[in-house]
Structures are given as C-alpha cells and as structure tokens.
Structure 1
Amino acid sequence: MQHTQLRTTQLGATGLEITRVGLGAWAIGGGGWEFGWGPQEDEQSIATIHHALEQGINWIDTAAAYGFGHSERVVGRALEGLAQRPYVFTKASLLEGPDRRVVHSLRRDSILREAEASLDRLGIDAIDLYQIHWPIPPADIEEGWSALAELKEQGLVRHIGVSNFDAEQLRRISSIAPVETLQPQYSLVEREAEQELLPTAEREGIGVIVYSPMGSGILTGSMTRKRIQELPDDDWRRHDERFQEPRLSRTLALVDRLRAVADRHGTTPGAVAVAWTLRNPAVDGAIVGFRRPDQVDPILAAAGLELSDGEANLLHDET
C-alpha cells in the first residue's frame, strides 16, 4: 500500500528520526486493571498497528503497566515477521499489585527484571527507548535512573528517558546520566507542561514526545455526553474530572472551536488538537492511542497540519 510520506523530526539528540505522530499502546492493554480502557480485541489491535505502520508511522510507545504486560505482548505479536520493525518505546516502574491495581517501584533489581520481561514480551533484542513511567516513589528516582543508565551500558536499551517528571526531578537525575527524552501529558486541556517543563526540555536539548494530545479522547469530536455515560465501568475515564461537570461543558465548547478550525482544513477536530501540541517548539512527536484501523488516517493529517497563530488563539479563547 502506498502511503504519503509522513513528516519526521529528530527526537532530541537521540539520533532517532521519528514521525511526528506515533502509536500509543495504552488502550490496547485492554480492560480489567486500574487504568484500563474497557474491553479491546487483540486481533483488532494488531490490525490497527499494521495499518498505522503501513501509513508510515515509525514508532510505538507502550509500557509494561498497560494491562500488566498485555499491551507489550500484543505489540510483540504485531511485530512478528515484519521486514522492517518500527522503533519500540516502553516504560518501567509500575508493577501489578493486589486486585490488578498499580504499585510503584524504582528499585534497581525490580527495573532490571522489568526490562528483561519487556524484551521477552516484545520479542526484540533491544528497546529503542526505555523510560521511567512515573517518578514514584520520589526518593528512589536516582536509583531508578541509575538502573536505566546501566541497561543502556549493557546495550539492552538504546536510549533512556522519563515520563511524568517535573523540571526539578529532571535536574536531580541529569548528573547521573543525560536525560535523552521526556514524555509529559500535554494538550489543550492539560497545559501545565508549558510553564517550566517544555522550556527546560527545549533549552537542554531533551527530546519530547507528548501523551494524551487529544485529552484521552475528549477532544476527538466523537466524545458526546451520551457516549461518556455509556463508557464501560472498567474504563478509567468514567471517573476522570475532565469527563464530568463543570469541566465537561467547557471542554465540549472547545471541541466546537476545534471543529470550526478543522472544517477550514478539511480535517477532524482530533487532528487539529494533535497539530496544536506539535506547534510547541519543544515538542518532537505526539503519541496517539489508536484502537481501530479506521481511527488512524484522520489523525495522520496532524503530522503535516500547520495552524496559524489566529487559529491557535481561537482555540485558546476561553470565552
């Protein structure tokens, strides 16, 4: 299948040339755990991954925590027999606790064990980017980061980064080994990273891939009040304040503005939301959680969509 050439960029100083949109594999970890997204068919997940790769996406971001190994196993199955595999990014530090709830560990031996298990599930010989998932417990971030540096030295991982760290935590660990990448949450409804984190990353030359650029689905244009009420019980979003009043009405008004900009470009509200995150000079790529093949193409437009200052201002208008 012939795909249009997706725009790419360098991920910080890693030397990795990534497409501006990557495939996030959180939701394909399925339901039945603390941060699940409800039921998900593995065959559909694999078809989605294959379609995204056919369209030119060249990286997948997953984590051991997503379905406690399930997402990584599905990604591993999708990669089997591919002539050319995409870059694979994954994360450590969230373990399965009682009742399929998350427990945190940044202990060295735990992280080394996690890396081996991830490599095994993914069926690859080295992880292209290994990230600390959360800086919890905060007292152990140096130990966790040292373990990642050790894995890089051993060649089991090629590059190392962090997710959900703040600027102060970046400073704390950077003397141990350079932080190559950062993965913060960033979207029109989650802009805190703009204050200190993204400017720090840009100044330090740290690569940035942002997650939830569509606000976990609320900015796609397909998330209605009715659909939110019908989300499965094991979809974590049911209990998230962004999907409840008073924030919901404000956000749905923002979606109307996204739709107005999208109509000008002949694209979708979700693509505009993703393109908005890519306007920030610190941001190299945006992670998008596709669950079905038909969700991929409408968002790929974001990789090449140039929003004007006027359009961006329209999206920021809170009135």
Structure 2
Amino acid sequence: MEKRRFGRTGMEITPVGFGSWAIGGSGWAAAWGPQDDEEAIGAIRRALELGMNWIDTAAVYGLGHSEELVARALKGVPEPERPYVFTKCSLVWDGNGQVHNVLKKDSVKRECEDSLRRLQVDVIDLYQIHWPIPDEDIEEGWEALAELKEEGKVRHIGVSNFDVGQMERAGKIAPVETLQPPYNLIDRGVEEEILPYCRQNDIGVIVYSPMKSGLLTGKMTPERVRGLPADDWRRNHPEFNEPKLSQNLKLVAKLREIGERHGRSPGEVAIAWTLRHPAVTAAIVGGRRPEQVDGIIGAAEFRLSEEEIREIEAAIPA
C-alpha cells in the first residue's frame, strides 16, 4: 500500500488507517452497541495484514476499553511491523461513567499516563486533544501536550475538531502538527477554511467518519436502523432518520452505481472521495469484524475520475 507524508510530523502513513471508536463496546454515551472483543482484535490484525500502518483510538472510546483492545491486538507483533498508534485526551469520565471535557494540565498529563499504561507502550506516536472544550482552557491543554513531547512521552502532537482560530492560538505555544476533523459527503464544513489552512501550514489531516459512521457503506437500510441496539448513538441521529435517511440512501445508490463500474463497494467510493482532497493525508476507517476491513481496504488505491466526482456531488442532498 502506498504511503503519504503526514504533514510536518514526517511520518509516512497509509491512506487509510484503522479507527477504533466502535470497538470500545457498550456502556458509555457514544457507544455503538455491544462488541465482541475477539472480533475486534481480529479486525485490527486483519487491517495490519492488508497493509494499514496506523491505528487511531482515544481514551474515552469504551472508557479505556478500546485502548486495551489495541494493546491486546498488537501484543507479539514484531517491532518492524508495529503500526503507529494515535490516541486522544480531554474527555474524562467519573465513577458513574459520565464523560466530561477537561483541558487542565494536570488532567491531560494524568490521561497520558493512563493511555500509556492501557496501550502498553513507552511512547505514543501521536497525541491529540479530542475536543477544544472548554475553549478558555485550550492554551493550558496544549501546553501540556507540548511538555509531554519534550518529556519524550509522545512523539507528535495534534488536535481534533479544532477550527482555524483555535489552531492559531495553539500554534503560538507549539506547532500544531496534525488535525483530525469530520469529513464526508454529508459533513463538508471543513472544506472552505480549515482544509486550505492545513494545506498552507503543512498540517497533516486524518479525517474521521469518511463513511458517515456506516451510513454510506451501502449496508444501512431503514430496517437496519430500526434494529440498531438501544445504546447505539446512531438510532437517534437525524441523518439516520427521516426525512434525511431517504435522501442519504439515494446518494448511496449513486455510490453503488459508480463502485460497480470498478468492482468497489459504496463505502470504498465514499472514502476515496475524501482522499481526493489535496489537504487530506488519510482517512480513518472503522471495522468491528475482519470482513468489514476487507470491504473497505480498496479505497486506499482507488481513484475517482473528475466526471465521477461531478456525478457524486450532483447526488449530494441539498
């Protein structure tokens, strides 16, 4: 699989990496419903077999469980074959599992120690602030990341869900090396200002939810939405319910039509569409079972023609 330079980090990463939000399992506010741990580990190992060289996780996914599963999946993998591991801070939980946004320096540093322990590593390849909340504490949180880098506990530092103004504030303290924003055919808010800023400033971009959390995979139907587990956050999301669901599934029909011309799935077409943007280094793709990874890996090498891009954009709901 080809590799791309990840902004100013200098890391060379594959165009798709494994996203481990969904494998965190049940029991927290942004859960995707129950998850079989062995299938999750199998999905990570399948992603590595197929050539992905990075994994994105976060402390909050499954309230620590996702990071623990990443460690289990990588146990015994020889050093030359080990993928980069990226994780995030700023979302902490209490004894009742309630999640809170915290960017105080002592909290961020404590989170880093906890992530190092759960991931069973001595250093984290990329450490990111998950959300710029509270806004007034951005500078304090970013100072903590800069210090962790100086201390050698993390190799690179980045942000997620930040706008241009917030990145500029952080950049006065230490360079912002990477950004992780949401980006897909339905969520295009980063195109106007944020992606051009990143390209201009050599900030590597890994986009999340390129398939809109499964909506653009070609496997989502009204029946499947109704059958989602009670604690799957998608059940109540507007894009997964009418009137938007029908509009979005018409877009998926176009992705399927284009994919069939090339032997690609609708999800692979959706991912390839995000990768066409010159500011995007790579896309985070989740998989809860090994066969799901098989269904999206082709996006790394698939290239849409200009005509196909126009076809897709004509089908996007207003």
Which of the five TM-score ranges fits, normalised by the shorter chain? over 0.9
Query: What does residue 304 of structure 1 align with?
Result: 301
Task: Give the letter aligned to residue 108 of structure 1.
Answer: K
User: Structure 1: any 5+ residue segments left out of the alignment?
Assistant: 1-5
Letter in 2 for 1:22: G
The yes-or-no answer on 1:85 pairing with 2:82 is yes
Query: How do 1:288-303 and structure 2 match up within 5 A?
Result: 288-303=285-300
Query: Which stretch shows the higher mean deviation, 94-103 or 281-290?
Result: 94-103
Letter in 2 for 1:204: N
Return the match for 2:36 from 22, 38, 41: 41
Does the alignment pair 1:19 with 2:23?
no
Number of residues of Structure 1 aligned to a counterpart in Structure 2: 314
Indicate the residue corresponding to 1:196 in structure 2. Answer: 193
1:286 pairs, out of 283, 287, 298, with 283
In structure 1, the partner of 2:235 is: 238
| Aligned equivalent of 1:3 | none
Percent of pairs with identical residues: 59
Query: What are the superposed Cα offsets for residues 2-52 of structure 1, whole Å, 9 maximum, x if unpaired?
Result: xxxx12101001111101000000001001100000000111111111111
Query: Could you tell me how far apart the structure 2 residues matched to 1:304 and 1:44 are?
Result: 26
Please state whether the residue corresponding to 1:22 is helix, strand or coil.
Answer: strand
Match of 2:264 among 267, 272, 278: 267
For the pair 1:135 / 2:144, whether they are aligned, the reply is: no
Which of 172, 179, 184 in structure 2 is aligned with 1:182?
A: 179
Residue 77 of structure 1 aligns with an amino acid whose one-letter code is: R
| 1-structure distance, mates of 2:96, 2:282 | 34
Q: How far apart in 1 are the matches of 2:160 and 2:28?
A: 20
Q: CA–CA distance in 1 between the matches of 2:94 and 2:236? A: 20
Q: CA deviation at 1:98?
A: 6.2
Shift of 1:297: 1.8
Segments of 5+ residues of structure 2 without an aligned counterpart are none
User: What is the CA distance between 1:67 and its match in structure 2?
Assistant: 0.8
Matched, 1:218 2:215: yes
1:101 correspondence with 2:98: yes
CA change 1:245–1:98 in 2 (3 A) is farther
Amino acid at match of 2:304: L
Work out the CA distance in 2 between the residues paired with 1:23 and 1:204.
26
CA root-mean-square deviation: 0.9
Q: Work out which of the residue numbers 4, 10, 21 in structure 1 matches 2:5.
A: 10
TM-score normalised over the length of structure 1? 0.97
Deviation per CA, 1:204-262: give whole Å up to 9, x if none: 11000000000000000000110000000110111111101121111000000000110
CA drift of 1:99 comes to 4.2
Q: 1:56 deviation in Å?
A: 0.7
Match of 1:66 in 2: 61
Corresponding residue SS for 1:77: helix
Q: Distance in 2 between matches of 1:134 and 1:28?
A: 20
Shift of 1:298: 2.1
DSSP 3-state at the match of 1:78: helix
User: Separation in 2 of the partners of 1:101 and 1:237?
Assistant: 19
Aligned equivalent of 1:250 = 247
